[in-house]
Amino acid sequence: MSLSVTEDVAARDAQAAPATSPRAAPHRVSLVLLALAMGGFAIGTAEFAVMSLLPYFSAGLGIDEPTAGLVISAYAAGVVVGAPVIAVLAARLSRRTLLIGLMATFAVTNGLSALAPSYSWMLAFRFLSGLPHGAYFGVAALVAASLVPRNRRSQAVARVMLGLTIATIIGVPLANGLGQWLGWRWGFGLVALLAALTAVLIALFAPRDEPQAGSSPLRELGALRHRQVWLTLAIGAIGFGGMFAVYTYVASTLLEVTQVSPAMVPVVLAVFGLGLTVGTLAAAWAADRALMPSIGAILLWSALSLALFPFAAGNLVAVCVVVFMIGCGGGLGTPLQTRLMDVAQDAQSLAAALNHSAFNTANALGPWLGGMAIAAGYGWTSTGWVGMGLALAGFAVFLLTWWDARRGEPGAPR
């Protein structure tokens, strides 16, 4: 999209939220970003904690761990379905109202997950829990980007995403600890409380905006006309799957291969979260300077890190280093979110939400392929090779995307 079109979109977003324009007081902007980041914290805890709790709720529900991995895939399927459907159907709602509703729904569905009486009910509740995920992050990213100048969009989006990354440092280990000490259901109960708190914070601090002029489901569906939108989504849907292939089974790998005590599992999970936080900040800084090269570099970094995992799994220090490196590759999400803002033209909400559908396609694909490798007898560490393959496949799609953009699709930035 041309620079002038991008600026027109940004101008409309700023008009839709005058109380939080780039000229708003810094403390006001910070409070809005804090409220939005708290939602990321709740969602991040929910998304990643269930992976770390897999050994516990699989035992509690009387199923094996590869089968329990389908619970993770059910959540991811909910994100894939919910993100575009909600973004389109809620096109005429104000962003503040939509964000509050999404977090209230997330609180209820995670509370129901904590009470699931059987595996079948757990699958259903995790699917419902995933529905608000993508739409929340998509709308929150657009609000955050509207608060700052164009050359700081990625860093503003990253501040929202930091809620998710900090969740992997604090929220996930806490949920994992609660799962070990009090039972796995308490981990989902924690998420429900965090989501309810987020709804309150957004109600207190987010501006009372009006629906954008001309917003409609049909206009949002216009994002699907652009080839670059589909290609950018494909990068995340495939390339991000590598991280999930390993992370889903990292707790089991630590217990079975590294042979650490259960008390060390939350520590290693926190190391992953630290890497994810560092990677998100670094990727946002790089994306605001060289967007497309930063995407390619992150995918190659991920492929290397994931290839090292099988060799490091037998040693606690080595596996901590590699898990940190894998976490850094999670910074991919912010540059892709910014790229979609550039290529979606005036269908911003749907494209932003679809970014998280793509990530959770990866969240379904990675655990499924990793579980297949484990079930086929290749061992827990085989997830590293699966992950490397997915990262390299994502890099191939990135090269196609960049080539297509440089070839000159009308409206596609280079």
Q: Give me the DSSP letters along 171-191.
A: IHHHHHHHHHHT-THHHHHHH
**Distance separating alpha carbons of residues 364 and 127, to the nearest angstrom:** 12
pLDDT exceeds cutoff 80 at 412: no
Please compute the mean of the pLDDT values over residues 13-40 and round it to a whole number. Answer: 63
Q: Is the Cβ–Cβ distance between 383 and 256 less than 8 Å?
A: no
Q: Is residue 412 part of a domain?
A: no
**pTM attached to this predicted model:** 0.74
Q: What are phi and psi of 253, to 5 degrees?
A: -65, -40
Burial grade of 120 (CB within 10 A; 0-12, 13-18, 19 or more): exposed
Q: Is the pLDDT of residue 20 over 50?
A: no
For residue 205, count other CB atoms closer than 10 A to its CB.
18
* Among 216-225, 227-236, 351-360, the least confident range: 216-225
Lookup result for tokens 């501006």: 207
Which region among 59-63, 317-321, 323-327 has the lowest average model confidence (pLDDT)? 59-63
Q: Is the pLDDT of residue 77 over 70?
A: yes
pLDDT (mean) for 206-212: 70
**What is the pLDDT, as a whole number, of residue 18?**
37
Full 3-state SS string of 25-66: CHHHHHHHHHHHHHHHHHHHHHHHHHHHCHHHHHHHHCCCHH
Residue 215 phi/psi, 5-degree rounding, is -65, 135
DSSP 330-373: GGGHHHHHHHHHHHSTT-HHHHHHHHHHHHHHHHHHHHHHHHHH
Q: Which of 134-148, 310-324, 371-385 has the lowest mean pLDDT?
A: 134-148
In whole angstroms, what is the distance from residue 218 CA to residue 131 CA?
A: 21
Q: Does some domain include residue 153?
A: yes
How far are the Cα atoms of 24, 160, 161, 288 from residue 334, in angstroms, in the given order? 24, 10, 8, 10
pLDDT at 306: 97
Residue 413 in any domain: the answer is no
- Whether 253 maps to a domain, the answer reads yes
* Domain-embedded: residue 56: yes
Domain total of the chain: 1
CATH, residue 279: 1.20.1250.20
Averaged pLDDT, 140-169 = 80
The pLDDT > 70 percentage for the chain reads 87
**Residue 414 in domain:** no
* Cβ neighbourhood burial of 257 (10 Å; 0-12, 13-18, 19+): middle
- The mean pLDDT value for 380-403 works out to 95
Measured CA to CA, the distance from residue 153 to residue 287 in angstroms comes to 9
Whole-number mean pLDDT of the chain?
Answer: 82
Q: What is the mean pLDDT of residues 256-265?
A: 88
Identify the residue whose tokens are 């991920």.
302
Q: Is residue 384 part of a domain?
A: yes
Question: Are residues 306 and 401 in contact, defined by beta-carbon separation less than 8 angstroms?
Answer: no
Q: Pick the residue with more confidence: 394 or 363?
A: 394
d(CA 323, CA 305): 8
Share of the chain above pLDDT 90, in %: 33
Give the pLDDT of residue 342: 78
Range of the domain at 100: 3-407
Please check whether residue 181 lies inside any domain of the structure: yes
Give me the amino acid identity at 56. Answer: Y
Among residues 228, 246, 232, which one has the least CA distance to residue 329? 246
Q: Which of 27-41, 81-95, 140-154, 160-174 has the lowest mean pLDDT?
A: 140-154
Helix H or strand E segment including 388: helix 382-407
Given a cut of 70, is residue 21 above it in pLDDT?
Answer: no
